[in-house]
Structure 1
Amino acid sequence: MTLGTAIALCAGLDACKAPPESRYVSDPADARHGLEVIERVGCGACHEIPGVGWPEGNAGPSLRGFDDFGPIAGQLPNTPTNLAAFVRNAPLAKPGSPMPAMPLSVAEARDVAAYLHGLDDG
């Protein structure tokens, strides 16, 4: 094996390492409040959401492992700011979205984003 081949193999192995725990680190109090907001406004009626026992809707996508999702609604970069804007007013954030605008304040939407970004596949 040549030195160049060995270096290429090592670089390839480094690219396969597991991603960090979460792309975003949220304040635990914000995330707890986000779950309370999710339960209050009934997000579980349309989505399966870890931590919400009932209902477990399936009209919208499962939000299990949300931190690992690609673009929000297939279009918006998955950042806390974009997610907060989307959960608050999806039709404004992504025209044509079937998700309705939700009765959330800016702070509540940020807390919902904090909760969802803390979700992993477990």
Structure 2
Amino acid sequence: MGVQCDSILARSRRCILRAVLCAAACGLAACDGPPDRTPKLDAADVARGLRLVSEKGCVACHAFPDVAWPRGALGPSLENFGAQGLIAGRLPNQPGVLMQFVRNAPALVPGTAMPAMPMSDQEARDVTAYLLQLKSR
């Protein structure tokens, strides 16, 4: 009986965590309005963001329009990412949210296959600026 209660308690905690994360994401969307598709990232360097997606290993799982090889297929293609409304199908595609997501996706989307990526604030800003400018050409 104790094991069953522990299992139910663990599931309840996970449900509460998901609800809190969802509410936070919805709150972010409500505060910021519709997703802002124009990068407003002070001191962000798009060219450095492109270099970083290779250096940090993002290309191992994702395809990027500016990277000929490797073209990862484990994660979704990011070739038109800047035109998408949601990150991971759940979070508003906004600079502040995306900066957090590229650094620590599991904290925002528990259970995601994307690992936490060690990078500085500036590196996250550069990667975010690069990703948000990716639109069909």
TM-score (norm 1): 0.76
Decide which of 29, 52, 55 is 1:37's aligned counterpart: 52
Q: Following superposition of structure 1 onto structure 2, how do residues 42-57 of structure 1 map, counting pairs within 5 Å?
A: 42-57=57-72
| Residue 67 (str. 1) matches residue 67 (str. 2) | no
- Contact 1:63–1:116 at 8 Å: present in 2 too? yes
The structure with the largest alpha-carbon Rg is 1
| Residue 114 (str. 1) matches residue 129 (str. 2) | yes
- Contact 1:37–1:112 at 8 Å: present in 2 too? yes
**How many Å apart are 1:114 and its aligned residue?**
0.1
- Contact 1:26–1:118 at 8 Å: present in 2 too? no
In the alignment, the residues of structure 2 paired with residue 112 and residue 95 of structure 1 have an alpha-carbon distance, to the nearest angstrom, of: 21
TM-score (norm 2): 0.68
SS in 1 for 2:116: coil
Unaligned runs of 5+ residues in structure 2 are: 1-35
Name 1:81's counterpart in structure 2.
96
- Contact 1:34–1:113 at 8 Å: present in 2 too? yes
Give the CA RMSD over aligned residues. Answer: 1.8
Name 2:115's counterpart in structure 1.
100
In the alignment, the residues of structure 2 paired with residue 52 and residue 41 of structure 1 have an alpha-carbon distance, to the nearest angstrom, of: 13
* More helix per residue: 2
Runs of 4+ in 1 over 3 A off after TM superposition: 25-29
In the alignment, the residues of structure 1 paired with residue 44 and residue 134 of structure 2 have an alpha-carbon distance, to the nearest angstrom, of: 15
Unaligned runs of 5+ residues in structure 1 are: 1-21
In the alignment, the residues of structure 1 paired with residue 66 and residue 125 of structure 2 have an alpha-carbon distance, to the nearest angstrom, of: 18
In the alignment, the residues of structure 1 paired with residue 84 and residue 37 of structure 2 have an alpha-carbon distance, to the nearest angstrom, of: 11
SS in 2 for 1:116: helix
SS in 1 for 2:126: helix
One-letter amino acid of the counterpart of residue 23, structure 1: R
Cα deviation code 1:32-80 (max 9, x no counterpart) = 1111111111111100011112100000000011111121011110001
One-letter amino acid of the counterpart of residue 58, structure 1: A
Instruction: Provide the identity percentage.
Output: 51
